């Protein structure tokens, strides 16, 4: 697919981009090269290639799911101005 100046002007209008008249020819050329490259990629036969999430065959390292710290909520809440049922209480700001 070959892009024309009118195509790029229409794309710029739809995208609300302002492209100067001195820049339009360069933009047409660059976008045309991008579209040509995408067309070239589309032509590649990928029917026998299995989909993958990552190019390297690796498993993600996970840390063990173990408790490493003790619950110190009561110690922390001793310093709070207001606590009710294990929650911090604050003044109401929305009526």
Q: Model confidence over 15-36: pLDDT tens digits?
A: 999 999 999 999 999 999 999 9
Rounded Cα gap, residues 57 and 53, in angstroms: 9
pLDDT for position 59:
80
pLDDT for position 19:
93
Q: Which residue has the tokens 């360069």?
A: 26
Rounded Cα gap, residues 23 and 43, in angstroms: 31
| For the chain, percent of residues with pLDDT exceeding 90 | 71
Structural domain containing residue 26: 20-44
The number of distinct structural domains making up the chain is: 1
Q: Is the pLDDT of residue 12 over 90?
A: yes
Residue 86: partners with Cβ closer than 8 Å, 6 or more residues away = 73, 77
pLDDT for position 60:
79
Q: Does any domain span residue 67?
A: no
Q: Does any domain span residue 78?
A: no
At 84, give phi and psi (nearest 5°): -145, 125
Q: Does any domain span residue 35?
A: yes
Q: Does any domain span residue 28?
A: yes
Q: Does any domain span residue 93?
A: no
Q: Does any domain span residue 30?
A: yes
| Cα of 92 vs its chain's centroid, Å | 37
Q: Does any domain span residue 33?
A: yes
């Amino acid at each position: 697919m070959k892009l024309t100046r009118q195509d790029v002007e229409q794309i710029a209008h739809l995208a609300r981009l302002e492209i100067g008249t001195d820049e339009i020819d360069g933009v047409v050329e660059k976008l045309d090269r991008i579209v040509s490259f995408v067309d070239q990629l589309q032509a590649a036969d990928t029917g026998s290639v299995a989909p993958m999430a990552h190019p390297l065959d690796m498993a993600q390292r996970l840390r063990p799911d173990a408790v490493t710290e003790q619950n110190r909520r009561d110690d922390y809440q001793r310093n709070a101005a207001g606590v009710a049922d294990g929650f911090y209480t604050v003044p109401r700001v929305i009526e």
